[in-house]
Structure formats: C-alpha cells, structure tokens
Amino acid sequence: MLTNAEIKRIKSLKDKKFRDEYGQFVVEGEKLVGEALESAFHVAAVYRQSEIGQETMSRISQLSSPSPVLAVVDKPEPCSVALGRGLYLGLDSIRDPGNMGTILRLADWFGINTIFASIDSVEIFNPKVVQASMGSIFRVRTLYCDLPEICRRFRHADMPVYGTFLDGEDLYGINPSGEGLIVMGNESEGISTEVSAVVSSRLLIPSFAAGRGPESLNVATATAIVLSEFRRRR
C-alpha cells in the first residue's frame, strides 16, 4: 500500500523541478514499462493497478485515463560522447513535447543512436515526450549541449554539418554523406543564427504544391523526410 507521502512524491514527477531533484521520471503503459524493464535504465519501482487499486493508480497517474501499470525510472547520469564516424541528429530549440517524442522515435527507426539537443530544447523526460517516443527514449541517447560548439567539433573532425533552410540546396539533388550532423530547427524560428553560422551544407525540402501551399513543414515531418533521404542514398 502506498502512503500519502509516496503518492505525493510520484505525482510531483510530472514537474521538471522534481524530476531534477529526485533524478527520476514516470513511464506509463504496458509497452513503455516493458521497454523500460528491458533497457539499460534502472527501474526504481513498478506499480500495477491490480495490486494498488484503481483509486491509487488514478492519483499517481499523469494520464487523463490511467493505464494498468506505471513505473518510476531513474534518469541516466549525464555523459559526454566521443565523436565517431557516423550520422547524428542535432535539435536546435525544439520546444513541443510531441515533436520531440516523435523525433526520438524517428531517430530510432533510422538508426540514429545519438541526438545533440540545445539546452533550451524540451526535456526528454517530460511525460508527453516519453509517451510520444513509444519507447525510443530508452534506445536513443540524447545529450543536451552547446549546439554551436558541437557543430564546430564536427567541422573540426572534417565531418559535414547539414541544416534545413528555405534558401538551401534541393535535398533531392545532393549526394549526402553517411556521416556528420543533421540539424533541425525550432518550430517557428528555424535554425538559430549561431548554428547557421557553422552549418556547412544548407538543405531545402522542396514543395511540389502547384499553387500557394504551406509555408513550412512540421519539424518532425521534416526530420522524417531528411533522414529517409539520407538513409536511402547512403
């Protein structure tokens, strides 16, 4: 039986302040909890509705419709990464949790093992990000960093830094490398000036609209298109 103090502590993990304080986050649903248990992450506790009751599960759940199972998972220790030859993804001020979760899932699908995210990007342990990632959060390493500096590190290692722009070169007309960093920009502002200055190849996803079409693509949709083209041409 959970005490009121334990319930309060689990509920508090919906806020970043307490996720940072306790070093934990919540995962809900049979699939996601199963993914957590099979991952390298440490699962601190698992709570099942059949064991704690529907009322208690409703109190600790962060979902509008509580799932049958919930787990409290320890956040991994921050780490640095040595740049190897390969393809990486950079995220410049991605703010929407749904976009972030979907991008994690896309990276997982297209074999991108490491994401570099700017410090002001949404936290991957946000409940909406966790749910949208569908378990990919446990397989794709996301490092929050000084993104312009990371871009410079790629350039110094003689690896290209790609970015998506409205004035870039047609994505379908280039011969992309199988290594380097692909940067995707903020939902409304695109890639920042600081990051733009160190991009080595500016790319454009062309529109095929006959008349006036949308001004831009959702960043998760754009990420899917770019990663698909890079993997197709590798």
> 151: domain CATH number?
3.40.1280.10
Instruction: Kindly report the number of other CB atoms within 10 A of residue 167's CB atom.
Output: 6
CA dihedral 222, 226, 232, 234 (to 10 degrees): -160
Average pLDDT score over residue span 134-159: 96
Rounded to whole angstroms, how far apart are CA atoms 36 and 44?
Answer: 10
Domain count, the chain: 2
Confidence of residue 36 (pLDDT cuts 50, 70, 90): very high
Residue finishing a domain among 42, 74, 106: 74
Indicate whether 50 pLDDT > 80.
yes
Q: Is the pTM of this model over 0.75?
A: yes
The answer to the question of residue 65 being in a domain is yes
Average pLDDT score over residue span 87-94: 97
The pLDDT assigned to 225 comes to 96
**Percentage of the chain modeled with pLDDT above 70:** 97
CB distance 219 to 187 below 8 Å:
yes
Rounded to whole angstroms, how far apart are CA atoms 22 and 10?
Answer: 10
C-alpha 46 chain-centroid distance: 24
Helix (H) or strand (E) holding 10: helix 4-12
Tens digits of residue pLDDT in 165-219:
989 999 999 888 889 999 999 988 999 999 999 999 999 999 887 766 667 789 9
Instruction: Please tell me whether residues 109 and 205 are part of one structural domain.
Output: yes
Give one word for 23, left, alpha or beta, with left for phi > 0 and alpha for psi -120 to 50.
left
Instruction: Please tell me whether residues 171 and 204 are part of one structural domain.
Output: yes
The answer to the question of residue 185 being in a domain is yes
> 54: domain CATH number?
3.30.1330.30
Instruction: Please tell me whether residues 107 and 153 are part of one structural domain.
Output: yes
Higher pLDDT, 185 or 81: 185
Provide the residue range defining the domain that includes 105.
87-232
Across the chain, mean pLDDT equals 93
Instruction: Please tell me whether residues 103 and 23 are part of one structural domain.
Output: no
Instruction: Please tell me whether residues 128 and 222 are part of one structural domain.
Output: yes
The answer to the question of residue 143 being in a domain is yes
Average pLDDT score over residue span 130-143: 96
Q: What is each CA distance from 39 to 3, 32, 139, in whole angstroms? A: 28, 10, 8
Instruction: Please tell me whether residues 23 and 121 are part of one structural domain.
Output: no
